[in-house]
């Protein structure tokens, strides 16, 4: 079984992994600081692995937005992003330097969605949407085993959705203010909750408003994509176990019985946590490497 390498480039930390099949056999974690410092550390790890354990392909799963059209200039580069200093960073070129192997790059959320489709909560389904709530808010969509791309890639974190009644928080997105990323990303929650969200008790009324925001996003995905699974991951999504039941109940209320497949019986099955947990991103990078190597699912 061929070795594969992957990189998950996140807003706060980045991970390089070496895998066989869907098993991670080695990994390193580096903080995401400047593009030069972060990408050099990851590249050095990949080159060392390549010498010791030659891998068949590399997958890169990065926060975005990214230029993913190979026919346009700037392929593999970071586009305009709230992450300070990263606009224009040449992600793919920096990480493939010195490697003679196929490579595939996609967003971190599309990659995580692919991993869940292959090995996690999406097994046996035709479609799923993976939402990550962390430093930013992103969404990946997989339909029939393929990540959805078009003019760009899904940027659901910048949707502007119906607000909860009485919620006056102005939002924290530097581009759009109260888009969904500006409301529920980790930096937004720190401002919204006046401190570390981990220290705010579950019964604080503000969590209900946050659950309303996440439910609105889930409803938007169900109405526009008819995804069979909506997976809520990322540091915030995985770290607040009280949120998911609130999100399901609010989504049921907001949809008012309109979607025949979404009811009290099915809501728990449709809106759920990723099965792969925090490994969805790194395994997503491995899934991209499998595709680059031409390996079957």
- How many domains are contained in the chain? 2
Neighbours of 260 (CB within 10 A): 7
Give the pair of three-digit tokens for residue 37: 């410092």
Q: Among 10-24, 41-55, 227-241, whose mean pLDDT is lowest?
A: 227-241
Instruction: Please check whether residue 145 lies inside any domain of the structure.
Output: yes
101 with 229, same domain: the answer is no
Q: Which region, left, alpha or beta, applies to residue 102 given φ > 0 means left and ψ of -120 to 50 means alpha? A: beta
State the average pLDDT over residues 214-243: 91
pLDDT at 154 over 90: no
Q: Which pLDDT band, with edges at 50, 70 and 90, does 297 fall under?
A: low
CA distance 113 to 130: 5
Q: What is the pLDDT of residue 238?
A: 78
68 with 197, same domain: the answer is no
130 with 269, same domain: the answer is yes
CATH number of the domain encompassing residue 140: 3.30.420.40
Task: Report the chain's mean pLDDT, rounded to a whole number.
Answer: 94
Three-class HEC string of the chain: CCEEEEEEECCCEEEEEEEECCEEEEEEEEECCCHHHHHHHHHHHHHHHHHHCCCCCEEEEECCCECCCCCCCCCCEECCCCCCCCCCCEHHHHHHCCCCCCEEEEEHHHHHHHHHHHHCCCCCCCEEEEEEECCCEEEEEEECCEECCCCCCCCHHHCCCCCCCCCCCCCCECCCECCHHHHHCHHHHHHHCCCCHHHCCCCCCHHHHHHHHHHHHHHHHHHHHCCCCEEEEHHHHHHCCCHHHHHHHHHHHHHCCCCCCCCCCCHHHHEECCCCHHHHHHHHHHHHHHHHHCCCC
Q: Which pLDDT band, with edges at 50, 70 and 90, does 39 fall under?
A: very high
81 with 125, same domain: the answer is no
138 with 233, same domain: the answer is yes
> For the segment 95-130, what is each residue's pLDDT rounded down to a tens digit?
999 999 999 999 999 999 999 999 999 999 999 999
pLDDT at 275 over 70: yes
269 with 289, same domain: the answer is no
231 with 131, same domain: the answer is yes
> Tokens 């392909």 map to which residue?
57
Instruction: Please check whether residue 25 lies inside any domain of the structure.
Output: yes
CA distance 16 to 42: 6
Instruction: Please check whether residue 226 lies inside any domain of the structure.
Output: yes
Instruction: Please check whether residue 116 lies inside any domain of the structure.
Output: no
State the average pLDDT over residues 264-287: 95
Q: Which pLDDT band, with edges at 50, 70 and 90, does 282 fall under?
A: very high
CB 6 within 8 A of CB 59: yes
> For the segment 198-211, what is each residue's pLDDT rounded down to a tens digit?
899 999 999 999 99
Instruction: Please check whether residue 113 lies inside any domain of the structure.
Output: no
State the average pLDDT over residues 225-253: 91
Residue 164: closest CA among 202, 206, 221: 206
Phi, psi for residue 78 in degrees, rounded to 5: -80, 135
95 with 190, same domain: the answer is no
Q: Do the bridges between strand 271-272 and strand 230-233 make them parallel or antiparallel, or are there none, so unpaired?
A: parallel
Phi, psi for residue 222 in degrees, rounded to 5: -65, -40
CA distance 20 to 49: 13
Could you list the residue range(s) of the whole structural domain that residue 180 is in? Answer: 121-274
Instruction: Please check whether residue 229 lies inside any domain of the structure.
Output: yes
Residue 136: closest CA among 85, 221, 63, 197: 63
pLDDT at 14 over 80: yes
70 with 196, same domain: the answer is no
**Who has greater pLDDT, 259 or 165?**
259
Instruction: Please check whether residue 26 lies inside any domain of the structure.
Output: yes
CB 159 within 8 A of CB 183: no
Residue 232: closest CA among 199, 184, 295, 289: 184
Instruction: Report the first-to-last Cα separation within the chain, whole angstroms.
Output: 13
93 with 36, same domain: the answer is yes
Q: What is the pLDDT of residue 153?
A: 85
Q: What is the pLDDT of residue 151?
A: 76
> Tokens 């230029």 map to which residue?
67
144 with 199, same domain: the answer is yes
Instruction: Please check whether residue 191 lies inside any domain of the structure.
Output: yes
138 with 210, same domain: the answer is yes
């Amino acid at each position: 079984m061929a070795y594969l390498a992957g990189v998950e480039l996140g807003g706060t930390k980045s991970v390089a992994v070496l895998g066989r099949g869907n098993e991670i056999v080695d990994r390193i974690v580096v903080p995401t600081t400047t593009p030069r410092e972060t990408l050099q550390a990851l590249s050095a790890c990949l080159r060392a692995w390549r010498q010791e354990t030659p891998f068949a392909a590399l997958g890169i799963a990065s926060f975005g937005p990214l230029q993913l059209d190979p026919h346009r200039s700037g392929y593999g580069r970071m586009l305009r992003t709230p992450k300070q200093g990263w606009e224009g960073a040449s992600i793919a070129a920096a990480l493939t330097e010195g490697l003679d192997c196929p490579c595939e790059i996609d967003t971190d959320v599309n990659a995580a969605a692919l991993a869940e489709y292959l090995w996690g909560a999406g097994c046996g389904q035709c479609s799923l949407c993976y939402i990550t709530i962390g430093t930013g808010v992103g969404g990946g969509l997989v339909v029939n085993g393929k990540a959805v791309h078009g003019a760009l890639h899904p940027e659901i974190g910048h949707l502007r959705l119906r607000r909860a009644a009485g919620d006056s928080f102005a939002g924290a997105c530097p581009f759009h203010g109260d888009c969904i990323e500006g409301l529920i990303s980790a930096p937004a929650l720190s401002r919204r909750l006046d401190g570390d969200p981990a220290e705010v008790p579950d019964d604080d009324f503000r969590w209900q408003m946050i659950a309303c925001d996440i439910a609105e996003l889930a409803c938007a995905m169900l109405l526009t994509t008819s995804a069979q699974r909506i997976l809520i991951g990322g540091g915030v999504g995985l770290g607040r176990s009280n949120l998911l039941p609130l999100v399901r109940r609010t989504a049921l209320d907001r949809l008012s019985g309109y979607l025949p497949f979404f009811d009290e019986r099915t809501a728990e099955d449709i809106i759920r946590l990723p099965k792969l947990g925090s490994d969805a991103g790194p395994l997503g990078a491995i899934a991209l490497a499998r595709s680059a190597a031409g390996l079957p699912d």
